[in-house]
Structures are given as structure tokens and as C-alpha cells.
Structure 1
Amino acid sequence: MHYFQTRFLWGSGTSAFQTEGAWNQNGKGASIWDSFTHSSVSGSLDREVANVASDSYNRWEEDVKALEYLGVRSYSFSLSWPRLFPDGNARGQPNTAAVKHYSYLIERLLEKKIEPIVTLHHWDLPQVLQEDYGGWKNETMVELFEEYATFCFHTFGSRVRYWLTMHNPYLVAVQGYGTGVHAPGEKGGPATSLTVAHNLIKAHAKAWHAYNANFRTTQTGKVSIVLGSHWVEPQRGKAIDASAELCQESIEAALGWFASPIFGDGDYPVSLKTKLGALLPAFTPEEKLWVQKTADFFALSFGPNNLRLGQSVISYGQTVTPDLRRLLGWIKLEYGNPSVLVAEGDTNICLSYSIITLFSFIAIKLDGVRVFGYMAWSLVDGFEWNYGYSIRRGLFYVDFSQQNRTRSPKSTAQYYREIVNDNGKDAHTHSHNSNNTIHVITVTLPESHPGY
């Protein structure tokens, strides 16, 4: 039985900082993550920073070969803002080598009939913007991001149908500027996180409006933002009504914080306003109208970071659980049944529970959730932020000890390949023991593309 539409966007994804490497190659400027990691380690060994990472900037053709091995119909990747504009200023001249690099990648994907899904900003803010403006704490970033987005739409948009403005702004606001666990490493607490989130939401809206006004009619693409969330349920034996209300507030404190302004009424959830009071920035009536409905589909991140952070925002009587089906159902009910792209589905969570039984038949067929794509995250092992290289999330194993960064498909890659190949047909009957061992199947990958 087929559970998916014929053109369902099976895919995989990566982000620039985690995989590209080439941190100062071909004119690239430093990002806040370059500065953060370099200052956090002694000796600046390549294994502790992302100077080389998976070397996907130089070995992008091998990544495309890996996508071909999987048989996927889409590839989600991010552009490096400091690679395109080392000084962060999109009004100036772009770095020609970077423009060529991303153009080559997009063109090769289209040749292989793989849909590019492009994220403008996946956490790697140009370091100069952090130094000059304080990064996302400063409202000036809203206009700077619009200019950067406009450049990307203008330069690549004729070949890109799906745009994602930014990835999981919750983690940027909380981990980057609140707790300091992520770059830029600021420990400003809740007040700073709320200010950063407010600016991120407005920057996204500004970029969406720029596309809507100047590019939509000619490029006919779609624009959204990737929002992350955990899922919580009442513990057994607890008072259900009271605990269910706490569960609702927990999801609103993470996903609703960003989704309610963008997909709802243009404002923050009432539960957040009640809890935070004057600490929570306010949208003017004009801004509410301007922010709401600034997404053409709902893009969801369902990765381990969300589950870990979910532990910190739950109240007594709740359990964090990796239940993608229930989260998709919540989004359907809360935001009027939008089309959904699972923009980050963690392979270690979802494949181990069998992606199909967890999500396809139940969520799509029984619940009527309008999911049109699924990005297994990630394509290759890479730099896992504050976990460095201690966690491997790739479908393909990368040997970081080898200069050529050899890629080998894991058992999860072969299993995902089977699912993609038959478009989910009876995939829940596949026997699979998801572990991160390297599968015996090998894939022949070409020599890397020479520099530009």
C-alpha cells in the first residue's frame, strides 16, 4: 500500500557550518561559530573545530553521489552568509567563488532531478555582524537579513522552488544568547533570548515579504521558516486535564513562541504573555498584521536538540517523547492544517522507531496531516555543534581521520534507500535494526571537484 503522493519529497539535509569546512578558503569570512569554536578549544585541532568538518565545500560532488545512492528527490542545504559576504554586507560585492560554488551545486542537483531546498541562515552569522551590532540582539539585523535574503533570491531563485529563511530560531535565541551553549556564547538569560527571538521573527517576515513582493510572480517558489519542537504527554496516573494544560503550555513555550506569530494571529501565545509579562517584547498592531501568514508551508525540525531542550520547559507530570505523529497532529489542529515539510527528521530517532509506522500511515493516512516531504537528517556525519564530533547523525559515515573524508553508507542509509525506492510501500514491514554501524555495501564516489 502506498501512503505517499507520487511526488513526495523524500530527501536528506545538511547545514553549511556542520559540513562545508574550508572555513577560510576562497575568501570566506569568519562566522560566529568559527570564532566560538576556535576560542573554546586549545590548539585549534581540526577534530575539535569545523575548519575541515566533512569538507563538503570541496567534496560536494561526493555528497551529490551520496544523494543519488539514496535515490532521494530533494536535498536541503544552507548557504553560508559569511562565505557569500565575508563582511556580512549584502549591499556590497559578493564573493564570486562562493556564488559559483552554490550555483554549481544547485545546477548539478537539478541535472540529477534532485530538488534543492535552500536555507538562507543556519546559525553561522558573519562574525563581523556580531562585533559591529551585537548580532541578533540588534534590530538592525532585520534589515541586514532582508538585504542578504534579497541577494540570494535574485541570484539563485530562478533555480530554487523552496526557500527556508532560517533554521530553528528557538535554539539561536535560547542556546546562543540565553545560556551561551551555542555561538556566540552569550549568557544574557531569558530577557536577551526574548529580544533575539523578536528580531528573528521580524527578520523572517521581512525576507518573506521581500520574496512575495519582488520574486514570487516570476520565480513561483515557496518560502517558510524551520521551527523546532519537542513533544510532551501527561505521565500515567497524573490528573489528565491539569497535566494536559501544562503540556499545551510547554509546546507553546517552544514551538508556539515562533509559530503563533507567523502561522497564527501575528502575536505570541497568551500563555507566554501571562507568564512573562513585560519581559516579552510586544508587536504593534501593524506588526501583527505584517508578521502573520508569512510562510507558505510549515517546516518542522524534529531533532534531538529539541527533545533535550524540551526537558527544561516541561512542568511536573509530563514526559518528553519522540512522537512525531502527535506533534504533526497538534500543528494541524493549532494552525489550520497547513502543508508540512519535515525539514529535519533525525535518523537516529525516526528510523530506529521505523519512520513509516511512526509517521506515514498514522499521521498522513489516519490523521490527514498534509505532509509533502521528509528530510532525513543528516546526509553525512558532521560537526554537531557543542557536541563536536562525538555524535554522528549522518546516513553516511565520514572518516574524519582521513584527509579525503571518505563517505560510506551506514545501515540507516540502505534502509532509507529502500523506503525512498518504493515510496513508502509496505516499508513498515522491512526488518531493520537501526544502528550506526557501516553497512557492507559500498558506493563509488568520484574525486573531489578542483578548486575554483
Structure 2
Amino acid sequence: MSERRMQPAAQGYPAMPSRDKGFADAPNPSLEISEHEGSDSESSDGQAEKSRCCPSKQKLIFPVGVALLLGVVLALIVWLITQQQGGSKCRGFEKCPEYPLPYAFGTWPKTYNYTGRFPDGFVWGVGTASYQVEGAYREGGRGVSIWDTFTGANTIDMPGGNCSYCCKSTPCTPNEHMVDKGATGNVATNSYHMFRTDIALMKSMGLKHYRFSIAWPRIFPTGSATGEPNAEGVRWYNTFLDELLAAGIQPYVTLYHWDLPQALLSPPELSGWWARDKDGKPVGQILPNWKHYVDTCFRSFGDKVKVWVTFNEPWTSTKLASGSGKAPSIAPFMNASLDPYIAAHNMLNAHAAAVEIYRGKYQKSQGGIIGITNNQDWREPKTDSLEDIAAAERAILFQLGWFSEPIFGAYGDYPPEMRAVFGDNLPKFTDAEKKLLKGSADFFGLNHYSTGWYAATEEPGWDMTYGVSSEDGFIRAQSTWLYGAGWGLRKLLNWVKRRYNPVIYVTENGWSIGAKTAEQAANDTSRVMYYANYTTEVLSAIRQDGVDVRGYFAWSLLDNFEWEMGYPIRFGTAYVDYNPGLDSDAPLPNTHVPTAGFQLRRRKDSSCYLEQVWRENMMMPPNGVASCVQPGIFQGRYRDVTQPGCQRLVDVYVPPTSGKISGTRPGPGRTSCDNVTDITYGPASVTISGSTVVCRGCRSGSSQGFWSAGSLGIEWDDGALWQKVI
């Protein structure tokens, strides 16, 4: 065989190609093998040369190979950890998010510009919820809700009151998470009986849009999946809707504002929204009941209701309701890292099912729209570091995005950033569910109240955001969680636009202030400032940022039952004197809770400020707006618009907290006065509180009237309008 050139062992192996040189330009490390290819045997000299060469090569190959292998393994481990955590700085994100605009770090406004006009047709309204205001919890065929059980109301012998954890003997015991023990929704603001008073109040405010919810247990007392609804419940809501429309007020109706029929939650047999199969996966046990309920509502009320909301704040009624303060908060659904995500999954599928029913059977003929309302407080990065920016973004994505992404996102699924952090702990939608969810809303309902700083942490926390909030420097309301910053709402609206670009309605926004008396409550200057700052930032989002906001609803029309916090917390733009006393159906202590019968309503300054804003559809300076009218405004002569020709005289005494009414009313069989057959009206004594006049002898019961700047008269709760004779 010909002579072979062997590279001496001392010189090692040919060099590998550098990163700057291609393999074609590098020495071929396999060239040696090519020279021996096809040889049948080796000479003794060749074997001797091989015996000298190979041991040296093996000594070098082994340590280098092991080192390379270990390096690859370590690199792979680091890569896997990085992928799982989304990077050390921006956990969950493929790319670190940018600092949220429109305000750059450190440029937050300290003052606001209260000028500018809202778009034509902008919707202004206020809102309430059934359990917070209706009362009449044992009347009209209503069944037990999970909030009746949570508060410790006497539910014995009520429809649905025999669940596995329901009260078995009185006095019933409230849930451990109920802060204001003794408070219930048994009576609340008594709006089931005083709804005409509430409508008169709305008319005096010039209100044209009112958001409220239907109580599922009032339509189906035990949440039945078949059969006819409770006729009394359907009749009451139809009457209420008719009178709203007659007053020129458009209803915005929420189908579920947390008052689940108790009969659908009786573990272990019935798990409500928290139902799962033997493998722990969400299962729609409640879906047939829900579909029957919403179908019935669409059929029964859809000719009157043109705007539907499927769920109000599903985050609150799943995350907080799984052991963090809201009903039901019961075992075995108290695992914050598991149970809320089961309930949320079932609730999102229920939302999609409701929309499918409405769009398929009713929307075309009834001409309405349907959406969902989610809630989010703004989370501002505490610093402009990548870590804090990412943490703040996670906080919003893992709450608002959790319930919005499947509906308004591109894929009908949870945010990918959320899946990156939660992994397999987050339930999976089927392809059919994704298809049904995607696009299942005609508008984006947004509840917003508070703003806080958000900073990154190494611990995941109860919400897996790897962050923590703080509120240094913000003004706090009566509620311990509520801190005001109008610019936070503008930033949140921009966030929604960037992520989804939908039509938006701000469906709740409000400020709590404690008060012991009507006089104290009426002077709610900080609430006036809150509404001024927040509404002007809504206008800036519309005009300067191009956000498609179509409406704004203040929370709330009335002071009301503030869930586990009871009645001391007051969000109303109108004060309510709950006529406190004994409620034998409430848990102990029950001697200073709302009672049935007459309850005073009195407008606060914030109500009058909002009225001027929505009557003019433009911003008003909060410090330049007069407060609500003083009692002396009632002094004078009136004509009764509803009884033509009839005259009324209101005399206001000094001090202006009382007076009398006199005048004329139609004679027998007549609906108007003719100065011949007229009958004397009164005199009847009245009491006056701000812009509210109460006549206790005008009819069989007490009657409330409210001064109306729009009609320059008194809107009475029997539908009468007395216009002042100037």
C-alpha cells in the first residue's frame, strides 16, 4: 500500500471551523479515514503506528466529550427554566411588555382639565344589583340564594333552603367571611316595594339609562332546568320594566349578579359553578339550568330590554367566592389555586351558551345587544424596570385578561402569558368551546374603581402574578381597597383598546363615603371630585386616544347592601335611611338592620353634579357647580300635570325641614279640576330633607317627591309631576 501521512499524536487533531469560516474552508477531520477507505489489511508498520496514535486520541476525546455533553445538558436545563418562567425579568412573556401609556413613568397628572363635550348619543347611567336593593327575600315566590345562606338569613322552609350546608334551625349563622354580622339582603333598600320611588328619583335626576340585575331565584326559585318560571317574579320584573320605559328610562339588564339559586349548590351532589368530573376537569353540571333561565328571560323581557349583560364581574364571583370573602366561600371549594379556575371555566362556557341562545333565537327580532362585564383595578408599574412592568401587566392579564381573552382575543382561549405561568393547572377549552367563545360579545363591559402600584416579587402570590400591590400616595375611600386616581381609568381603557379594540361601556365606577345622617351624606365632596376626575379621563381616552367608549354608569343609584361589608359602606349617589330596627329573620345581632316599610331617599351633591354633566353631555368643573337645591326651593304654587287644572300650594316652615301642602283635586269621577266640582286637597303635613319632600298624609301611605331641575317641579312616586308656577 502506498505511504500514508499520519498526523503525529503530539500535534493533535485538525482544528474545527471557526464561527467566521464555513465548513467548506476548514480542514476535513475525516480525511484520515478517507485515505484508508477500501484497504483489506494493514501492514505491521501501520498497526504499530495505530497503536501509538489512538490511545492519545482517546485520552483527549473522553474529557472533551464529557465536558461538551455536560455543557449541552446545563444549557438545556437553563433554556427549559427560562421558557417556563418567561425569562428572569419578564416571566410569562416571550417579549417584555412596554411601559403602559398614555402617561409615561413619573408624568401622572396632578390636576385635570374639566372641559370638553362627549360624543352625541353617549350613554349616561347608574346601576344597582338585585340582592343589594330588592329585599322582599321571602315574598313573591322567591327562592333561597347563596347570599341568603352566606349572610345567615332565616331560609328554613324556603324553596331551595334544604341544601347540605343550609341553616337547620334559627337563629342561622352567617359565614365566617361575613364582616357585618347581622346584615342581610332580607330588606335592603326595600326596592321590591319602593321601585316607584326609585323611578321618581331617577326622573328627578334626568336619568335615561338604568342598569340592574334580575334575581335568578325570583324567576326559578330552585334553579329548575325545565318547566315554567315563577309567575309572580316574571310579573314583577315586567311591571318594573314597563314603568321604567314609561318614565323614558332604558333598562340595561344583568342576568347574573352573584345570587345563584341555593338549590344548585349542595355539595357533594351539586357543585354549581365549581362542578368537575372525576378527573378534576370542569363540567357543565349547571349549564342546563342556566340555559333555561336565560332563555326564559330573553323570551319574557326581551321586547323591553335592548342591552343584556350575561355576568357581572365573574372574577369576583369565582376568585373571591372561593374562600376570599364572597359567597359561597365554603368547603370543599376553598383552594385559591384550583377552585376559582374551575368555576371560571364553567362560567365562561355559560356566557357563550347564553349568547348563542340570544343570537340564535332572539337578537334579530328583538334588536338588542349582549355582552359581559368584567372588573379591573389599574396596576401601575411601581418603577420603570422591566420586572415591575411585566408584573403589572401580569396582574391585569391574570384578572381582566383571564375572562376577556377567550371572548375578545384571537383564539377563544386564555391569555398565552397566563398559560405560560399556570401550565397544565389552567383548564383547557375544546375546539368547539373556543369557537363558541370567540367573539361572543357585542360590547366590552368594564367595572373599574381603584388604582395602585405594582412591583415584581419572587413569590407567585395567590394569583400567580409574581407581584404585589401598594397604594402609597393615593387618596383612599371609605372602603379599604379603594384608592382614587382618574388617570388609572384612562390607562385601563387604553390597555383594553390595545389588546382587543372593542366597543366599551364603563358599567361601574364609584366611591364610598361613610355617613350617619342624611345631612352628613349629602355633602360628598370627595365623591364629586372622584366622578369629575374619572369622567374627564374617559373623555380624554375618547378624544385624544381614540378609545371607543360608548357609555358610563356610576355606582350606585342608592346606598345599599355592600356584600360582606353590610350597610356601613355607602356607595350611593342618593342617601338611604334604612329605617333601622329589628329583623327577626336576620342573624344576631339583628336589632339595627334595615326594616320593611318607608325608607327615605335623599340626593347627594354627587348626584346633582352628575346630572349637570349628563344633561349637558359635557364636562363641568366640580368646584364651580352648585350643590343640590336647598329645602326652600319647595315653597310656592304648583300645577299638577297629571291632573290638569288642579292647583297645589307648598308652604315651607322655618327651619325648612317641615311644612304643609294644600290645594285642589278632581271631584268624583273626574281626572281634572274645573273649579266647580273640585275637592280640597289637604292640608297635609310634610317633612323636607334636602331636595326630598315626604308627605305622610297625602295618600294611604307615605309619599316621596324629588325636586327636578329639568322639569322645575316635583317628581312624585305615584307618577305625578307638579310643576312650579313661576
- What is the TM-score with the length of structure 1 in the denominator? 0.90
Residue 181 of structure 1: aligned partner: 325
Work out whether residues 60 and 448 of structure 1, in 8 Å CA contact, stay in contact via their aligned partners in 2: no
Work out whether residues 228 and 255 of structure 1, in 8 Å CA contact, stay in contact via their aligned partners in 2: yes
In structure 2, distance between residues paired with 1:309 and 1:66? 40
Alignment match of 2:495 (pick from 312, 326, 330): 330
1:364 aligns with 2:542: yes
Q: How does 1:246-261 map to 2 (within 5 A)?
A: 246-261=391-406
1:124 aligns with 2:259: yes
Alignment match of 2:244 (pick from 99, 106, 109): 109
Residue 283 of structure 1: aligned partner: 429
Residue 598 of structure 2: aligned partner: 404
Q: Which shifted more, 365-374 or 15-24?
A: 365-374
Task: Name the SS for the 2:321 alignment partner.
Answer: helix
Which consecutive unaligned segments of at least 5 residues does structure 1 have? none
Per-residue deviation, residues 19-40 of structure 1 (Å, max 9, x unmatched): 0000111211110000110131
1:200 aligns with 2:334: no
Shift of 1:368: 1.2
Residue 422 of structure 1: aligned partner: 616
Residue 301 of structure 2: aligned partner: 156
Shift of 1:200: 0.5
Residue 267 of structure 1: aligned partner: 413
Amino acid at match of 1:184: P
Q: How does 1:42-53 map to 2 (within 5 A)?
A: 48-53=183-188
Instruction: Provide closer, same or farther for how the CA distance between residues 365 and 134 of structure 1 changes in structure 2, counting only shifts above 3 A.
Output: same
Task: Name the SS for the 1:408 alignment partner.
Answer: strand
How many pairs were matched up?
439
Q: Which shifted more, 375-384 or 86-95?
A: 86-95
Residue 504 of structure 2: aligned partner: 340
Work out whether residues 211 and 254 of structure 2, in 8 Å CA contact, stay in contact via their aligned partners in 1: yes
Residue 373 of structure 1: aligned partner: 551
Work out whether residues 380 and 454 of structure 2, in 8 Å CA contact, stay in contact via their aligned partners in 1: no
What is the aligned-residue RMSD (CA, Å)? 2.8
**Which one has a bigger Cα radius of gyration?**
2
In structure 2, distance between residues paired with 1:404 and 1:317? 46
In structure 2, distance between residues paired with 1:36 and 1:280? 28
In structure 2, distance between residues paired with 1:368 and 1:308? 25
1:215 aligns with 2:388: no
In structure 2, distance between residues paired with 1:401 and 1:439? 15
Work out whether residues 23 and 51 of structure 1, in 8 Å CA contact, stay in contact via their aligned partners in 2: yes
Instruction: Provide closer, same or farther for how the CA distance between residues 317 and 239 of structure 1 changes in structure 2, counting only shifts above 3 A.
Output: farther
- What is the TM-score with the length of structure 2 in the denominator? 0.57
In structure 2, distance between residues paired with 1:173 and 1:433? 42
Alignment match of 2:190 (pick from 28, 40, 55): 55
Per-residue deviation, residues 303-348 of structure 1 (Å, max 9, x unmatched): 36x979999756557656641111011001100x211111111144
In structure 2, distance between residues paired with 1:291 and 1:107? 33
Amino acid at match of 1:352: M
Instruction: Provide closer, same or farther for how the CA distance between residues 80 and 181 of structure 1 changes in structure 2, counting only shifts above 3 A.
Output: same
1:245 aligns with 2:411: no
1:140 aligns with 2:317: no
Task: Name the SS for the 1:40 alignment partner.
Answer: coil
Work out whether residues 377 and 394 of structure 1, in 8 Å CA contact, stay in contact via their aligned partners in 2: yes
Amino acid at match of 2:502: P
In structure 2, distance between residues paired with 1:330 and 1:126? 35
Shift of 1:189: 2.2
In structure 2, distance between residues paired with 1:18 and 1:10? 21
1:37 aligns with 2:151: yes
In structure 1, distance between residues paired with 2:262 and 2:384? 49
Amino acid at match of 2:127: G
Per-residue deviation, residues 113-170 of structure 1 (Å, max 9, x unmatched): 2110000110000000112521111221123212111110011001111000010000
In structure 2, distance between residues paired with 1:307 and 1:123? 26
In structure 2, distance between residues paired with 1:221 and 1:160? 7
Instruction: Provide closer, same or farther for how the CA distance between residues 228 and 434 of structure 1 changes in structure 2, counting only shifts above 3 A.
Output: farther
In structure 2, distance between residues paired with 1:374 and 1:134? 35
Work out whether residues 528 and 605 of structure 2, in 8 Å CA contact, stay in contact via their aligned partners in 1: no
Work out whether residues 85 and 95 of structure 1, in 8 Å CA contact, stay in contact via their aligned partners in 2: yes
Alignment match of 1:14 (pick from 114, 118, 128): 128
In structure 1, distance between residues paired with 2:327 and 2:534? 35
In structure 2, distance between residues paired with 1:434 and 1:279? 53
Shift of 1:241: 2.7
In structure 2, distance between residues paired with 1:276 and 1:432? 50
Residue 390 of structure 1: aligned partner: 568
Per-residue deviation, residues 47-90 of structure 1 (Å, max 9, x unmatched): 61111000011111111112112212200000000011111115
In structure 2, distance between residues paired with 1:259 and 1:307? 21
Shift of 1:105: 1.1
Task: Name the SS for the 2:302 alignment partner.
Answer: helix
Shift of 1:439: 8.2
**Which protein is richer in helix relative to its size?**
1
Per-residue deviation, residues 393-432 of structure 1 (Å, max 9, x unmatched): 01111111254111111111111111111112x4146536
In structure 1, distance between residues paired with 2:250 and 2:579? 32
Q: Which shifted more, 402-411 or 221-230?
A: 402-411
Which consecutive unaligned segments of at least 5 residues does structure 2 have? 1-114, 153-172, 276-283, 456-460, 472-482, 513-525, 581-596, 629-687, 694-703, 706-715, 720-726
Instruction: Provide closer, same or farther for how the CA distance between residues 22 and 405 of structure 1 changes in structure 2, counting only shifts above 3 A.
Output: same
In structure 2, distance between residues paired with 1:295 and 1:391? 33
Work out whether residues 54 and 400 of structure 1, in 8 Å CA contact, stay in contact via their aligned partners in 2: yes
Work out whether residues 321 and 329 of structure 2, in 8 Å CA contact, stay in contact via their aligned partners in 1: yes
Work out whether residues 9 and 74 of structure 1, in 8 Å CA contact, stay in contact via their aligned partners in 2: yes
